[in-house]
Structures are given as C-alpha cells and as structure tokens.
C-alpha cells in the first residue's frame, strides 16, 4: 500500500508532505503526492502549458522534501481534475490511488476551531475510506 498526501503550497501542506515522506520511508511504502488541478473549461485556456505547470509542481515538491531532510525519498505525482468541487475530486483521487493512508496538514486551532473543523478537512474525514493522519506544524 502507498501513503498519499495532497500537494499544497502552505505551511500545513509542507509539514504534511515531509511527515508523509518520513512515514513512507519508515514503512518502506510508496509516497504518492496528489494534486487537484482546474479543468480546462474552468481555467479558460486551451493551451495552459500543463507540462510546465507539472514541472513546476515537481520542483516545488522536491524542494519541500529536500528542506525537510527527506529529499532522497522516492515519490510519484498523480493529478486529478475538478470542475467546481476540489474536495470531491481529491476524495476520488485518493480512492483511485489505492493508498492505505492519507496524510493531511492542519492549522493549530482554538477550542472553537477544533469544534468547527475546516470544511474541507471535515469533508475529507467523512468521505475518505482510508485512514487519515492529521498533522500540525510544530510550535
């Protein structure tokens, strides 16, 4: 089984990616980096240079892994399109990936924030059929 993590250029996303890479190395499992992209109709461009965007994402992911001390970890990028429902597209991509664990980053929250989880995180927790590991940025 593989360990999946969603690509997000945020502090929470970077923490989740490094944690997922360490977990994959420890378990000797494949690391899958998942990215949801806008479909062409929503983006409004016919030729939006998807190869250059994918190369930029690959470089950003490798930079995050390098800065986290896990740059030698092998990983694979998988993308999925959405047309309005990014979380739904991510749920579908996680299911199609065959991952046995999904790692997601979350912000530190107040007591009220913990009670009222972010909508996207709440949907992931309810709709994804594999175990989800939520990690927070160290203080």
Nearest Cα to Cα of residue 3 among 26, 25, 30: 30
The answer to whether 37 and 80 have CB atoms below 8 angstroms apart is: yes
Q: Determine the 3-state secondary structure of 106 from DSSP.
A: strand
Mean pLDDT calculated for residue range 1-13: 92
% of the chain beyond a pLDDT of 90: 55
CA 11 to chain centroid: 12
The answer to whether 106 and 136 have CB atoms below 8 angstroms apart is: yes
**What is the model's pLDDT at position 49?**
54
**What is the model's pLDDT at position 136?**
85
The answer to whether 25 and 73 have CB atoms below 8 angstroms apart is: yes
Q: Express each pLDDT in 70-116 by its tens digit.
A: 988 899 999 988 878 889 999 999 999 999 999 998 877 655 555 55
């Amino acid at each position: 089984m593989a360990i999946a993590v969603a690509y997000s250029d945020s502090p929470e996303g970077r923490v989740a990616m490094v944690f997922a890479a360490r977990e994959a190395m420890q378990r000797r499992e494949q690391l899958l980096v998942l990215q949801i992209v806008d479909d062409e109709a929503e983006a409004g461009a016919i030729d939006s240079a998807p190869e250059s965007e994918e190369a930029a994402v690959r470089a950003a992911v490798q930079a995050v892994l390098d800065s986290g001390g896990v740059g030698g970890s092998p990983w694979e990028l998988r993308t999925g399109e959405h047309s309005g429902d990014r979380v739904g597209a991510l749920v579908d991509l996680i299911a199609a990936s065959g991952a046995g664990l999904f790692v997601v980053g979350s912000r530190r929250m107040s007591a009220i924030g913990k009670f009222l989880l972010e909508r996207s995180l709440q949907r992931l927790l309810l709709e994804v059929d594999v175990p989800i590991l939520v990690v927070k940025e160290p203080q």
